[in-house]
Structure 1
Amino acid sequence: MNDIDHIGLAAQLIEAARREGADQADAMVVSAISSAVGVAGGSLEEAERAEATDIGLRVILGKRQASVSSSDLREAAVSEMAARVVAMARAAPDDPWCGLADPGETGGAVDAASLELSDPAEMPGPDVLEALAREAEDAASAVPGVTQVEQAATSWSRDRVTIVQTNGFSGSYTRSSCSIAVSAIAGDGLARERDWAAETRRFWSDLPSPGVVGTRAGHRAAALLSPRRPPSGNFPVIYDERVAGGLIGHMLGAINGSSVARGASWLRDAMGRQILPAGFDVIEDPLILRGRASRPFDAEGIAAARRNLVENGVLQSWVLDLATGRQLGMRTTGNARRGISGTPSPGTTNIRVTQGSRTRDDLVREMGRGLIVTSFIGASINPTTGAYSRGASGFWVEGGEIVHPVNEITLAGSLPEMLPTIVAANDADPEKAVSVPSLLVEGLTVGA
């Protein structure tokens, strides 16, 4: 990571905005370094290394705001950037909800180092990344039925995020990430099937072995060979742990303050009501040690904190930033997210859903006859009504056992009717940002 003075650079942006007449301003500085390698067919396919620092500046004049970004860190460029964004704000339409946090709302964030978000180890060299990718490719290729490894890739990155605001907030933290991913193909000609496996961690030492990832990808692809069409009708459906997070994600989207404030949410009138079965909690925890989406504060300087979005099946909270909170007459929940060039918007961090006491195999046996979904293609979700339709593939179950793979099927239902029926397994992956176990769902129509 380079030695740029993030706080000093952000303060320089703020001062330039003040000189141009900004009432309020916040500056973001992001430095990142990354390396990635991909192999295919036993040959090195790609090798990349990147290092960059980007700056972003948002200014507010009265009730108007604008934002810009740049990678030019020269003093003259910073001054020009500030002049440009202030001119843009003067021409922008009124936004009655924009504005920084009051000074009393910021502060109190945990020490970023206590979250262990950045691996102190040095970046692995490209030769190390290539060797691990080759190991993953070899493991996938060794699985019976696998005819090609589309790609095996490894990557490592570290970035530092700094935010400084005119309300007095100043904060910075560093994150690292490393991953192994494999895409495998089984079968030949028109009978080929593809599947994948991937693992991502904050610390290099926490990554599983490349052989484990490659073998998993190979077995997943081989298991999809010789698919058949399932019968059409109403059947119970198990959302495999790989895709169950998407189902909960639809709920998270419906309680997002942007959707609720627009009235474009099928849960807009559900606060304090039962939306999941009794006993289900949905917890957001941005303070998980080495968590995929952990952070000490949000993009508006609000300290991160653990809280229940759903408790005992009852909706407890929207997901709000400052603007949507003001629009709804509520306080922010500290969920602001922001890119280097954009304005804040609400979004979640680490999500944890209550697990059940049974395995996925137990749910399969109890289901008797139905569908296991392991992947989706496309989606049609009505955000206002919750009407649900998705293309899917997976496995058909008869007599409580998997009998054959299925593909090119459509699932249809209604999220407000589906979510109160869910039954959870005990197989959630704690390494995921949205950690959700396999879910058995009633009330779906399967179409071949």
Structure 2
Amino acid sequence: MTDTLSDLTEALLDAAKKAGAENADALAVRGTSISVDVRGGALEQAERSEGVDIGLRVLIGQKQASVSASDTRPETLAMMAERAVAMAKEAPDDAHIGLADPADLTRGWDLDALELADPSPEPAPEHLVTDASTAEAAALDVKGVSQVQSATASYGASEIYLAATNGFSGGYARTNRSTSCVAIAGTGTGMERDYDGDMRTYQSDLRSPGQIGQQAGHFAVERLDARKPATGNFPVLFDERIASSLIGHLVAAANGSAVARGASWLQHALGERVLPDHLSLIEDPHLPRKTGSRPFDAEGLPTTRRAIVEDGILTGWTLDLATARKLGLASTGNAARSTSGPPSPATWNLALTQGDQSKADLMADMGTGLLVTSMIGATINPTTGDYSRGAAGIWVENGVPTYAVNECTIAGNLRDMLRRIIPANDARTHLSRVVPSLLVEGMTLAGA
């Protein structure tokens, strides 16, 4: 980590104290991103951005205010501090805000073990063009693909530094490298679109662009000649590509912010069964090369491995300091923030217990129903868990995929759905949310 960001956050804290702040924290982020889009074998668009964003939060008594900027001149820092203090003086009291107790701060971490930043050089633009072109060509080679909507390759690097008047000071760097492709199959009103992509922390881990383009093409072709399914109650198999969204609804309901507002369908479910008794949902922020890994949270507290759900039982909420105080609990080290606002609770790397059957096995067991491969729109009632989403996928008859399906709606109640999920064994373990395909029996389908 460079001294520059450290010095910048310390300068912000000094400016805040001079302006009259009792306490403050400062966040500085330096980022670089490069992205290229290829279309028709030629470069269509290339973008590069570089910059530093800074954020300052000041506290006066039980009042707080946040300001941000992308200008790091000394006069700007002083102006930010003055404005933040003036805003804080006019803000309403909040009994739950405040920096972490110095005794609770994390004091040491092993960045090398986390492998958050690839030491390899930034890729040359021509290498990104080659990757995007290769993905596009591979998609066009798939029989039935009529065109490629986009093929993109990108790289990003960032440095983050956090400092506060309670004594915390620390930072780390991140990198990411990605390739994606959106293919279109068919012609006219019968066209269908699908995609594939991959993003990794280390460039050497990235799947080949040819494989990504080819898979995008196959996904698009599978959607041709789609029909509406029958209306009724059927089992629904959520494909691994979209199954994490189902677990995401559970995670959102277990967020301390929603619980504190009384806006969670899990409001009174602590200690109750929310998943089948053989399944757990584990958060681990210390896994190498994962986007959800971090040595400390946005309030300087240590991040730790924990079970959100253990053997089917909901064990706790996801908390930052403020929401923890509202609920009379302790922070779980899950504060996240941008430069423009105060901390709020967020989850890091998540993994759901995988099953011992393949997706094909679950498809055979489900008999007749729907394999969902994409979803659009959502009507989720956050207090009741009522669930309704537009879906597309493959109709399964007697365990065998038969035809593509679109323009249908799947509905149920999340509390009931999650308690009877059956996981496959096909989760991609490099993702920050490791969730396999999930079978849910007895959902309502509205089609023809």
By the TM > 0.5 criterion, same fold? yes
| 2:403 corresponds to 1:404 | yes
SS of the equivalent of 2:318 reads coil
Q: Corresponding residue for 1:173? A: 172
CA distance in 2, matches of 1:415, 1:54: 39
Q: Name the SS of the counterpart of 2:273 in structure 1.
A: coil
Match for residue 327 of structure 1? 326
Structure 1 counterpart SS, 2:149: strand
* Alpha-carbon distance, 1:218 to partner: 0.3
Work out the CA distance in 2 between the residues paired with 1:199 and 1:108: 34
SS of the equivalent of 1:271 reads: coil
- The Cα of 1:185 is off from its aligned counterpart by 0.2
Displacement of 1:292: 1.8
TM-score (norm 1): 0.99
One-letter amino acid of the structure 1 residue matched with residue 284 of structure 2: D
Aligned twin of 2:185: 186
Corresponding residue of 1:66: 65
TM-fit CA distance, 1:276: 0.3
Question: Which amino acid in structure 2 is aligned with residue 14 of structure 1?
Answer: L
Which position in structure 2 is the counterpart of 1:102? 101
Deviation at 1:367, TM superposition (A): 0.3
Work out whether 1:350 is the aligned partner of 2:349: yes
1:346 maps to amino acid? P
Distance across 2 between alignment mates of 1:274 and 1:295: 29
Q: Distance in 1 between matches of 2:3 and 2:126?
A: 28
Distance 1:239 1:4 in 2: 47
- TM-superposed CA distance for 1:70, in Å, is 0.6
Residue 125 (structure 2) pairs with residue 115 (structure 1)? no
Distance (Å, rounded) in 1 between the aligned partners of 2:27 and 2:361: 49
The answer for the alignment partner of 2:264 in structure 1 is 265
3-state SS of the aligned residue for 1:361?
A: helix
> For 1:296 and 1:4, how far apart are their aligned partners in 2?
19
Moved over 4 A (4+): none
How many angstroms does 1:228 deviate by?
1.0
TM-score if structure 2 supplies the norm length?
0.99
Q: How does 1:408-423 map to 2 (within 5 A)?
A: 408-423=407-422
Answer with 102-111 or 432-441: which moved more: 102-111
The equivalences for 1:240-255 within 5 A come to 240-255=239-254
Distance 1:419 1:132 in 2: 39
* Partners of 1:411 and 1:109 in 2: CA distance: 48
Q: Percent identical across equivalent pairs?
A: 51
Aligned to 2:445: 446
Shift of 1:346: 0.4
- 1:385 matched to which residue of 2? 384
Q: Deviations over 1:119-176 (max 9, x none)?
A: 0011011111001110010000000000000010000011000000000001100000
SS of the residue corresponding to residue 377 of structure 1 reads strand
C-alpha deviation, 1:431, in angstroms: 1.9
Residue of structure 1 in register with 2:126 after alignment = 127
RMSD after superposition? 0.9
Q: Secondary structure at the match of 1:366?
A: helix
1:297 maps to what in 2?
Answer: 296
Mapped partners of 1:418, 1:50: distance in 2:
43
| CA shift digits 1:218-265 (9 cap, x unpaired) | 000001000011110000100000010000000000000000001110
Equivalent residue for 1:78?
A: 77
- Please report how far the alpha carbon of residue 116 of structure 1 lies from its aligned counterpart in structure 2 after TM superposition: 0.4
Equivalent-residue separation in structure 2 for 1:397 and 1:442 (angstroms) = 13
- Aligned 1:164-243 pairs, distance under 5 A: 164-243=163-242
The question of whether the paired residues in 2 share the 8 Å contact of 1:16 and 1:79 is answered with yes
Look up the SS of the partner of 1:363 in the other structure.
helix
User: Amino acid of the residue matched to residue 197 of structure 1?
Assistant: D
* 8 Å contact kept, 1:292–1:431: no
**CA spacing shift, 1:146–1:441, aligned 2, 3 Å:** same
Give the counterpart letter for 1:22 in structure 2: A
Deviations 1:257-306 (A, max 9, x none): 00000111010101111110011010001111101211111111111111
- Number of corresponding residues: 447
What is the deviation of 1:191? 0.3
Residue type of the partner of 1:19? Answer: K
Matched residue SS, 1:5? helix
Aligned to 2:274: 275
Partner of 2:162: 163
Task: Specify the SS of the correspondent of 1:107.
Answer: coil
1:27-70 CA deviation, whole Å, 9 max, x = no partner?
00000111111101222111011110111000011111110111
Q: Distance in 2 between matches of 1:388 and 1:208?
A: 34
1:110, distance to aligned residue in structure 2 (A): 2.2
User: How far off is 1:411 after superposition?
Assistant: 0.6
Matches within 5 A, 1:419-434: 419-434=418-433
Report the alpha carbon displacement of residue 430 of structure 1 after superposing the two structures with TM.
1.1
Instruction: Give the Cα separation in 1 of the matches to 2:108 and 2:132.
Output: 38
Structure 2 CA distance, aligned partners of 1:203 and 1:416? Answer: 38
Q: Match of 2:96, SS?
A: coil
Structure 1: 5+ residue stretches without partners: none
CA separation in 1, counterparts of 2:110 and 2:86? 37
Give, in angstroms, the shift of residue 26 of structure 1.
0.2
2-side partners of 1:434 and 1:442: how far apart?
A: 23
Structure 1 residue 108 displacement after superposition: 3.9
Q: Gaps spanning 5+ residues in structure 2: where?
A: none
Cα distance in structure 1, aligned partners of 2:105 and 2:111 = 15
Secondary structure at 1:30 match in 2: strand
Paired residues of 1:109 and 1:304 also in contact (CA < 8 A): no
> Are the equivalent residues in 2 in contact too, given 1:68–1:81 (CA < 8 A)?
yes
> For residues 108 and 406 of structure 1, what CA distance do their matches in structure 2 show?
54
- Read off the aligned partner of 1:57 and give its amino acid letter: L
Counterpart secondary structure, 1:225: coil
The residue type paired with residue 333 of structure 1 is T
Deviation at 1:113, TM superposition (A): 2.5
1:4-19 alignment to 2 at 5 Å?
5-19=4-18
- Deviates most, 251-260 or 89-98: 89-98
Check 1:351–1:109 CA distance in 2 against 1; reply closer, same or farther (3 A cut).
farther
* Matching residue of 1:56: 55
Distance 2:290 2:93 in 1: 38
Instruction: Classify the secondary structure of the residue corresponding to 2:82.
Output: helix
Distance 1:372 1:110 in 2: 43
